[in-house]
């Protein structure tokens, strides 16, 4: 083999190796989940494409989230699929109507999911859950699920940060700016705590407090975004 041919062959092999090892973003499709007799539950969530372990782990976590959101009693181990939970929700409503035929109360449950951030390192999915099984109004909750894009493992809040306490101190001024002109907060600015829901977005790291978490129902959700160029030094997985 002549030197030029040998050099070309080496470069070609290096190119192929780099292409194989380059990290790729996982793709998702939208799925609507229902059952034949379902009339009150509406579920639209992302589904990770493929049969690899990453996709399987993410889909398992999403399915578990939906099942838990639909369950208002202790989870029955014999009823583990989303479809079974949908049927049980419908059955519970029919039982309620049988016991209280004069009630005008309508039940409903809706879960909508969206991939809000997808990189080769981390994936964030926002899930909006609305349920109404009685009371003055329904309950709306937004949940962020963060996944390690290389393993599919669900990342807890503590795993997002190099030092959670240091990030809390860093984020406090952003919270104070967000609520500066509000007088209806349960949480005093100087007693700042991180919300239960923190997720990645194209604009930066989102910190979100759901209804009732730090303010009355009428206030709705409270959220603010910290740009990655300011937050990245505190993150185990940096945003872009």
- Summarize pLDDT for 76-95 with one digit per residue, the tens: 555 578 999 999 999 999 99
- Summarize pLDDT for 157-216 with one digit per residue, the tens: 989 999 999 999 999 999 888 887 777 777 777 788 899 999 999 999 999 999 888 788
Domains along the chain with CATH numbers: 24-151 (3.30.565.40), 156-240 (3.90.640.20)
Report the predicted TM-score, pTM, of the whole model to 2 decimal places: 0.85
| Nearest C-alpha neighbor of 221 from the set 164, 179, 170, 188 | 179
Distance CA 237, CA 157 (A): 12
């Amino acid at each position: 083999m002549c030197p030029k041919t040998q050099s070309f062959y080496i470069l070609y092999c290096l190119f192929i190796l780099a292409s194989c090892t380059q990290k790729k973003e996982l793709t998702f499709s939208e799925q609507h989940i229902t059952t034949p007799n379902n009339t009150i539950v509406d579920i639209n969530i992302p589904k990770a494409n493929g049969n690899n372990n990453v996709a399987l782990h993410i889909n398992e976590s999403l399915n578990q989230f939906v099942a838990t959101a639909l369950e208002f009693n202790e989870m029955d181990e014999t009823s583990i699929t989303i479809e079974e939970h949908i049927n049980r929700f419908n059955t519970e409503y029919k039982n309620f109507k049988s016991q209280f035929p004069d009630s005008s109360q309508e039940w409903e449950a809706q879960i909508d999911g969206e991939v809000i951030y997808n990189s080769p390192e981390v994936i964030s999915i926002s899930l909006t859950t609305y349920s109404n099984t009685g009371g003055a109004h329904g309950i709306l909750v937004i949940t962020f699920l963060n996944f390690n894009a290389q393993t599919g493992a669900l990342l807890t809040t503590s795993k997002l940060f190099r030092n959670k306490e240091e990030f809390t101190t860093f984020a406090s001024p952003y919270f104070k700016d967000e609520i500066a002109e509000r007088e209806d907060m349960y949480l005093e600015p100087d007693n700042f705590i991180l919300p239960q829901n923190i997720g990645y977005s194209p604009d930066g790291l989102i910190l979100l407090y759901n209804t009732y978490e730090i303010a009355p129902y009428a206030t709705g959700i409270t959220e603010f975004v910290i740009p990655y160029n300011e937050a990245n030094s505190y993150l185990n997985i940096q945003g872009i």
